[in-house]
Amino acid sequence: MTGIQFGYLLGGAVIVEKIFALPGMGRQILDAINKREYATVQSSIMVFAILFVTINLITDLIYRRIDPRIK
């Protein structure tokens, strides 16, 4: 569940940063979308995707280590 919750946190960061005018990746993505800077949008989404996959991989490896029945 931790790995999937991290994905929700990434998605929520975009909304929170826009509402409260905080600087960050979420706001950068929204500004790039509005300015039609496709390279910035693609690279930012790629960073989010790599983070999501990495966190899920780490979560799965920890789960396998904790529960020896999983192989």
Q: Find all residues with CB under 8 Å of 21, minimum gap 6, and list them.
A: 27
Please tell me the distance from the alpha carbon of residue 69 to that of residue 54, in angstroms, as a whole number: 23
Q: Find all residues with CB under 8 Å of 7, minimum gap 6, and list them.
A: 52
Q: Name the pTM for this structure.
A: 0.75
Question: For residue 6, with 0-12 CB atoms within 10 Å meaning exposed, 13-18 middle and 19 or more buried, which class applies?
Answer: middle
At 8-60, the pLDDT tens digits run 887 788 888 888 888 888 888 889 999 999 999 999 999 988 988 998 899 88
